[in-house]
Amino acid sequence: MRDTGWLRRNRAEVAGGLMAALAVAAIAYGAEWAEVLSVPLVLAIFLGLVWHGRRRQVALAEVQGLAEMRASLLDRQARFLHDASHELRTPVTIARGHLELLRREQPDATELEVALDELARMERIVERLLLLAKSEQQGLVFEEIDLEAFLSDLFIRWSEVAPRSWRLDVDLAGRLLADPEGLRNALDALLENAVKYTDPGDTIALSAHADGAGGVVIEVSDSGSGVSPEALPRIFDRWARADGARTRERGGAGLGLAIVAAVARAHGGGCSVRPLPRGTAFRLHLPVRVPSTEAASPTPAGEGELAGAGLGPALS
């Protein structure tokens, strides 16, 4: 690149010099006309090469410029998302606070419940937009988490939400390197989705097992109405909605699975979905488990040591 650059800048001098040198040589050695005629030909080829090199360079610069523009556009988009969702928090907080004041005075007003419910929905959308922006900007903060305790807490919380046949199976002990907030949001989105497409009595299972390569696979499966085959390929896209059969849309779920994908990517992993004979299974693959050298990993007071110690019976 540097060579062509030098040639390009000094093309005239180089060409002139070459021609002069050839002319001098032709006269001095009494070369025949035929040989002298080859001089402009060589020169033309040479200039052609220089021209080609230069064009290549311009094209490369153009491509590079486009890539940079795209990157800065994405970056700006993520920043915009982040700032916008951040800004939305204050008005949402104010509206919610005043509505809650009113509710204390009129505990039976259903209008207030509807307004508060919709605000809660807006909060979830805002939170998810923020998380999306954060995971796209590598804004996640990783720490070691006790996977079993983490999944148990999440599972117990969700078991309160809806009467389903809830199952948790964690086939591995140890710690995982993850952003707890991001991971919680991703799993919340998957469990929310599972609750939405199941009825009381259906099964929702959360499970985790080793992937055989030092990572973890977390799966959420349900025995619900399932996803239509046409909806599957685009299901992790932002605002992708499942088909008409799954109509009722609640609380920013259009972003839920996009969150799952973004969080998985930010962890260096991925996500997938597969239909079951009855229901659907979503998988989140996180490639970084902390090697279980228990002595090396500092655990908060008496948590880790107990998690793996097999206290009490295994989950029956």
Residues forming contacts to other proteins in the complex (CB under 8 A) are 86, 89-90, 92-94, 96-98, 100-101, 104, 123, 126-127, 130-131, 141, 149, 152-153, 155-157, 159-160, 163, 165-169, 181, 201, 203, 301-303, 306-307, 311-313, 315-316
- Cβ of residue 311: shortest distance to other proteins, in angstroms? 5
Compute the distance between CA of residue 130 and CA of residue 127 in angstroms, rounded to an integer.
5
- Cβ of residue 312: shortest distance to other proteins, in angstroms? 5
Locate 173 and state its tokens.
């002990």
- Cβ of residue 300: shortest distance to other proteins, in angstroms? 11
Locate 16 and state its tokens.
């002139």
Compute the distance between CA of residue 260 and CA of residue 282 in angstroms, rounded to an integer.
10
- CA torsion 281-285-289-292 (nearest 10°) is 30
Single-letter residue type at 4 = T
Sheet containing 143-146: give its strands across: 143-146, 175-178, 289-290
Locate 305 and state its tokens.
């040591």
The CA-atom distances, in angstroms, between 151 and each of 74, 176, 263 are: 33, 11, 16
- Cβ of residue 168: shortest distance to other proteins, in angstroms? 5
CB-nearer residue toward other proteins: 57 or 203: 203
| Residue labelled with tokens 């079993």 | 148
CB-nearer residue toward other proteins: 95 or 240: 95
Task: Give CA 17 to chain center in angstroms.
Answer: 58
CB-nearer residue toward other proteins: 296 or 315: 315
User: 261: burial class by Cβ within 10 Å (0-12, 13-18, 19+)?
Assistant: buried
CB-nearer residue toward other proteins: 52 or 89: 89
- Cβ of residue 283: shortest distance to other proteins, in angstroms? 20
The answer to whether 221 touches 191, Cβ cutoff 8 Å, is no
CB-nearer residue toward other proteins: 30 or 312: 312
CB-nearer residue toward other proteins: 134 or 246: 134
Sheet containing 203-210: give its strands across: 165-170, 203-210, 216-222, 280-286, 270-275
- Cβ of residue 95: shortest distance to other proteins, in angstroms? 9
CB-nearer residue toward other proteins: 7 or 256: 256
- Cβ of residue 119: shortest distance to other proteins, in angstroms? 8
